[in-house]
Structure 1
Amino acid sequence: MGCACRPVSLTRPSSAPPPSPASVKPSPSTCLAMASQGHGLSLKRFFCSPIRAIRGNNNPFRSVSLEAECGYGGGGEGGGKDKNGNNGDGGWRGEGSGSSGSQHNHRHFLFFSIFFCSAACSFCHFGLASALARTSKGGSSESEAESESGSVWEVRGGQWIALVPHAYEDCFVVESGIGASSLLRSHFSVAHLWIQCRELFMRLMLPEGFPESVTSDYLDYSLWRGVQGVASQISGVLATQALLYAVGLGKGAIPTAAAINWVLKDGIGYLSKIMLSKYGRHFDVNPKGWRLFADFWENAAFGMEMLTPAFPHLFVVIGAAAGAGRSAASLIQAATRSCFYAGFAAQRNFAEVIAKGEAQGMVSKSIGIVLGIGLANCIGSSTPLSLVTFSAVTFVHMYCNLKSYQSIQLRTLNPYRASLVFSEYLLSGQAPPIQEVNDEEPLFPAVPILNMKPMNREQPTVLSSEAKVAAAEIDNRLQLGSKLSDVVNNKEDAAALFSLYGNEGYILTEHNGRFCVVLKESCSQHDMLKALFHVNYLYWLEKNAGIEARSASLDCKPGGRLQMSLEYVEREFNHVKNDGESVGWATDGLIARPLPNRIRPGSVASPNS
């Protein structure tokens, strides 16, 4: 016979018997008896099969002997035989024999086994949550069918209780098929324990209301970030060990000298973080590319620290450079993380999404630290072996980072994404969906050779190749925040431009093949988005209608290029905004970092005066 494991709940007996629920009766097939004697505990469960007993000594929480029975009679206290002739071993016992060293090693092995199993279960829970999120639509149809039949389910944690309409009163009552005995049996089932653990994990790691409370890209991003967090902590542990060997702590060096070197190294790192903060607006415009660059920078800093044992006399120089890189990377990571979390908050639950992200990060870091310590103990002071291990971990780290950023679907409009949306609208009359635009957007627009598109992605259904070409060219030719003196050469052009754009927050003209947008002092993010739509229409006139740029004074006259395009923008801008909002785009303004040039228009003479 196979082993039959039946989970049993143990509770410490109290002085007063607990009140028994009035509506719950024991099942006829199950009898549960408990007897307490002093501080001893004896819990017995009777089935048709032989009796299984769990007994404790005088302290019920100190030592418990659990006896498992296989077949009919095997595994008893006497270690007898079952009817097949198999010897029983008496099950698991709290008392044992053996050396203290073997027990110590056994405890360590058991601890790490449980820890890694818990980590694996965590990622399995993420996968289970993903499956539940993807099958929510299928379950909704079943729910509708049940609701049509008149039944209602009351959910209490992992318990589902069926409620049916009362035959004579206007209320719902518990269905007779689900009685107290079935609820009692479910309380002791493995499935119930699994549901409770899953719900606890989801409450700790996922925002309340998941998956409806976050966007569809949140789970994929969190999974990839969890794996990269483990790899990052492993690299950190290996780099820290290398630094300690470099300063000689393993050889009995004076700790004070090491502390002085460490403070000097970190001080230079803090200075680099302060200097880099001036570029914060760049992180809003292209957060994915900057975040991947920060991860590369962080790994480069770890690599420099890994080399310090080979050059211990250059510890301060190498350590300072590595510290500066790590500090700069941490600044970029913190800045871009806020952009991502703000996009995930589908119900404006920004704080909760951030809190759950930090909790997920702590789990990944804990697993990474344990694995890093284990690898560090195996590697020791071998620099070549450390570099090989570090290279493998770095590859995993960068790959997971790349996949996590490719899974993010930003809903804000920077110049490139806005050009894709506007170009497709001018070509087909509809705004492209968020996922297609994000899949097409390069991580590094300024360095095309570094751009990698997601593999196995779906073919776009709305976004056309013409719109992609237009967006790339417009992004290269756009100059947001131009100086007026650089684009206007005479008084007639200046007067014509000020007259045409008198009610706008910007002045747009074409100069030397570039779309130059001069921003007024009162220009807002909404005005810049409107100016970019104007630029896209000028490009469309150039490519599809063959209308080339002339002098500004001629283009501003009635029927001229600038005058005609401005009329179209005034008429169509609200329509393209509404179409974009209907597919999920945030069209309240343009996320850009223009040049710091602004103008304050005064009284300008008319070009005809």
Structure 2
Amino acid sequence: MESSKMSKHQQLIIEEWNGSSSTKLFKTATITFSPSFHVQRSVNGFNHVWTRFLDAFVPEGFPDSVTPDYALLSAIGVGEKSATIIGATFQWFLRDLTGMIGGILFTLYQGSNLDSNAKMWRLVADLMNDLGMLMDLLSPLFPSAFIFIVCLGSLSRSFTGVASGATRAALTQHFALQNNAADISAKEGSQETMATMIGMALGMLLARITTENPLAIWFSFLSLTMFHMYANYKAVRCLALDSLNFERSSILLQHFVESGQVLHPKQVSTMEHVLPWWTTLKSSKTAKPLHLNVKLGLRVSTLDHLEMANFLNSAGSFYNKAKYLLVERKGIVSIVVHKDSTGADILRSYIHALVMVNLMDEKRSLHLESQTWMDKHYESFVQKLRLAGWKTERLLSHSIIWKAHWSLDEKTD
């Protein structure tokens, strides 16, 4: 606070300044006594309140009172002469907004697919979490691309949050043999807390050992990340889920067609993929699995005139008693499900579609031959599934977006 010398007829001027060091002071108001009292503020109330609020989260005298690598705040411009608090806040807001929108879109496109592929998405969730941490570590190294990198990290973690939450629920239901899902979930939380506490203690020790050694820090991070992913991969491989999804149904049907026997969940668990198909198909020389040529749900209005004629012909011949229709288009068998169909109807339709794909390489009537196979073997196949320990009550799959309702008029002479 400064004051000028004042005689009996002079005015008194007081300037109000704010700051924690002499080099970072800024004027907030000018107070005049001449002889009346007058206050002229140099900053608006909002900026003053926001500055006081920010003081609760950064050290006094920030950024001069801390080292340049104190936090990610330095990378977004906080502390730079040309930067503003509002600008820095906007960048953090953009990062969080990207994560929120990414989580919503991920749920929209994959939400109904998470429980049917719980093993794969459990692994992907951990991978995306590690990727998000890597982005956070890389962001201060590239200030010019900082906001882009942290947005990628936020996007990765948003996928992790959605996928891990959904798959955790599915796996908890799998573990709960005595309707004790709540107890298992609670104990899992305790186990996770204990593991986190141990990890924090070891992390502090490792941080002390690798202090001021960037090479050791990066080596430790990358080594532990690789070990984390390997451990998660082995853990997911041990899961033997007894619910039917697209791939397990395909594996079971192919083995049944070849041998007449049904595999047990533990046997199928060693054969199914836990990584996304696009990571293995390019390097694989074998034919694509059957389920990749089956699409559950078809918008009938997209059919052309010839396809629509075949569709109606199928409704009146091969599927006159079924609550689904199969349409073969360019090697892909699409399933149109009746609006009144049940879980058993959906399971039957999907197995039927797999049978049709399996017969596709042979020159024959796909509809007739596949229907003949279903009439002879389907009931036996389902019975053997139940005896092997598979849950056939429902087929875990994508939401069926497109359904249809059709009725057939009986012709009388």
Normalising by the residue count of structure 2, what TM-score does the alignment of the two structures yield?
0.71
Matches within 5 A, 1:24-423: 244-248=70-74, 262=92, 264-278=94-108, 279-312=110-143, 314-423=145-254
Residue 321 (structure 2) aligns with: 503
Amino acid at match of 2:266: Q
Following superposition, the deviation at residue 275 of structure 1 comes to 2.4
State whether structure 2 residue 339 is matched by structure 1 residue 513: no
Q: Residue 242 of structure 1 contacts residue 307 of structure 1 at CA under 8 Å; is this kept in 2?
A: no
CA 1:479–1:313: 2 relative to 1, 3 Å: closer
Give 2:295's match in structure 1, choosing from 465, 469, 479.
479
Query: Taking structure 1 as reference, are residues 293 and 396 closer, same or farther at Cα in structure 2, changes over 3 Å only?
Result: same
Determine helix, strand or coil for the equivalent of 2:244: coil
1:508–1:518 CA contact under 8 A, matched in 2 = yes
Distance 2:359 2:281 in 1: 32
Q: Distance in 1 between matches of 2:240 and 2:296?
A: 25
1:430 match: 261
Distance in 1, matches of 2:68 and 2:161, equals 21
Letter of the 2:183 counterpart = E
Work out whether residues 297 and 400 of structure 2, in 8 Å CA contact, stay in contact via their aligned partners in 1.
yes
Shift in Å, 1:488: 6.9
Q: Is 1:549–2:354 an aligned residue pair?
A: no
CA contact (8 A) 1:444 1:450 kept: no
SS for the counterpart of 1:339 is helix
Distance 1:446 1:595 in 2: 21
Task: State whether residues 242 and 381 of structure 1, in contact with CA within 8 Å, keep that contact through their aligned partners in structure 2.
Answer: no
Query: Structure 2: 5+ residue runs without aligned partners?
Result: 1-66
Relative contact order higher in (CA < 8 Å, ≥ 6 apart):
2
Contact 1:301 1:322 in 2 (8 A): yes
Distance 2:408 2:296 in 1: 24
Matched with 2:311 is 494
Match of residue 561, structure 1, among 361, 366, 369: 369
| Residues 291 and 354 in structure 2, CA contact (< 8 A), matched pair in contact too | no
Matched, 1:447 2:263: no
CA distance in 1, matches of 2:293, 2:114: 21
- What pairs with 1:562-577 in structure 2 (closer than 5 Å)? 562-568=370-376, 572-577=377-382
Amino acid at match of 2:99: G
Q: 1:384 to 1:267 in 2, by over 3 A?
A: farther
Q: Secondary structure at the match of 1:518?
A: strand
Q: Describe the shift of the 1:487–1:518 C-alpha distance in structure 2 as closer, same or farther (beyond 3 A).
A: farther
| Secondary structure of the corresponding residue to residue 334 of structure 2 | strand
- Mark the runs of 5 or more structure 1 residues left unpaired by the alignment: 1-240, 453-468
How far does residue 541 in structure 1 lie from its aligned partner after superposition? 5.2
Helix, strand or coil at the partner of 1:516: strand
> Quick check: which has more Rg, 1 or 2?
1
1:547 to partner: Cα distance: 5.7
Q: CA deviation at 1:381?
A: 4.8
Please provide the CA RMSD for this pair: 3.4
Query: Do the aligned partners of residues 413 and 451 (structure 1) sit closer, same or farther apart at CA in structure 2, a change above 3 Å counting?
Result: farther
Q: CA deviation at 1:437?
A: 0.5
The corresponding residue for 2:392 is: 587
Normalising by structure 1, what TM-score?
A: 0.49
- Residues 430-468 of structure 1: CA deviation (Å, up to 9, x unaligned): 21111111110012352252899xxxxxxxxxxxxxxxx
Q: Deviations along 1:81-128, whole A, 9 cap, x unmatched?
A: xxxxxxxxxxxxxxxxxxxxxxxxxxxxxxxxxxxxxxxxxxxxxxxx
Question: How many residue pairs get matched?
Answer: 336
Q: Is the 8 A contact 2:248 2:268 kept in 1?
A: yes
Is 2:297–2:403's contact at 8 Å kept on the other side of the alignment?
Answer: yes
SS in 2 for 1:284: coil
